[in-house]
Amino acid sequence: MRLKARSAGPLSGRARPPGDKSISHRALIMGALAHGVSEIEGLLEAADVLNTAEAVRLLGAEAEKLDNGRWRVRGAGGFRQPSETIDCGNSGTAARLLIGAVSGYKLSARFDGDQSLRKRPMNRVVAPLSQMGARFDSTENRLPLIVHGGALKGITYRSPVSSAQVKSAVLLAGLKAEGETILIEPERSRDHTERMLKVFGANFDMVEIDGAEHPRVRPGPLTATNIYVPADPSSAAFPIAAALILGKSEVRVEDVLVNPLRLGFYETLLEMGADLTYVERSDPIGEPVAELIARGSKLRGANPPAKRAPAMIDEFPILAVVAAFAQGETRIVGAAELRVKESDRITMMVEGLKACGVDAEELPDGLVVRGHGPKSVRGGAQIRTLGDHRIAMSFLVLGMASKEPVIVDDADMIATSFPGFVECMSALGADIQPTR
């Protein structure tokens, strides 16, 4: 389905984006590994997460939807031999975390995904898991691949990249490995796995190495618990960004996860002069939550440090759109990871921005956007998305504030992370419609 976004007036109202995708994946996987019944409130019911729910069923757990957005997961304390291929669809998180968790068990499981996921590198988890004793049958360490697990040994792994997916895969495997497993990364990535391991009662702690704290897990069971899933800050980024670039807007986004390791985008917005505030903070499950208020703002270019990249890796596309409406240059670096997401997001964003009349250029690990302030973007382009949901949503937001409408060539995949995106934005005043 093609969608067209037209220039909109000021946005106003309240929004509650769907549940956080990262927490949703982890809640299903750890609930399936645990002994007993876990209830999950607010699970993201999007394609990526539903694939994870089906995966844990194939691996021996029960996962069922109840009422009012609640799910129940009955774990058997481990995984069993699946009867068919585990299809992870478009989700690198599902694939890498499940491959790690499965590696601890004496079984063989075949993993596959869609054409986009088949292109994404799996060596970053295959390498450490192989060191632990897992074996893999694959071509160039990409999907489809077969994991042969069991009899793992704990390791201290120095990851060459800061990746929560790599960290999580290694720690989940470490739950069934002999000895201790420690993960060291260049910059600290999002820590939802560490927080949730504590909630599920894992034999987990942090250990100091080279003057920094790093996660350590030892073998031991998980105990079922109840999980609350707050709104996804990566999804909240879209109504927040739209409010900032459309003058006189005021949008309140409720119940947003404000984990410090997920706030790089919002920190950068504040440096750009955004009128953005946090209110009504709470901490329902060991993860901080707040309501965010965004108002139309005169923004300026910024140069976020490369070390901030892991804390906003999913928000780089929408940050590039915000930068197009700021005054001055924004230089985004430290984000080479974007080249191996659902698409090469660096190339795709620069291509789309240029098509809309924005001065943008690629860097090896990021991009430069030279903005000329509010109402300065021409728009008027049809954007190819290559099946990337964040590219599609980002350019629809751009179309809401540009002089001419913007069309995205495929919007069906938006449901992988933000079901109800169009309805949510329209309720705030956006003009987004299907088109031929």
Q: Show which residues are catalytic.
A: 314
- Rounded CA separation 47/418 (Å): 9
Q: What six digits make up the tokens of 248? A: 């006189």
Torsion angle of C-alpha atoms 352, 354, 359, 363, degrees rounded to 10: 60
- What is the amino acid identity at position 241? A
CB contact set of 67 (below 8 Å; sequence gap of 6+): none
Pairing type for strands 2-6 and 359-363 reads: unpaired
- Chain-centroid distance of CA 191 in Å reads 12
- Rounded CA separation 112/100 (Å): 15
Q: Which of 358, 351, 415, 362 is nearest to 385 (CA)?
A: 351
Q: What six digits make up the tokens of 329? A: 């240059």
- Rounded CA separation 255/28 (Å): 21
- Rounded CA separation 125/416 (Å): 23
Burial of 139 (0-12, 13-18, 19+ CB in 10 A): exposed
CB 69 within 8 A of CB 40: no
Q: What six digits make up the tokens of 136? A: 């893999």
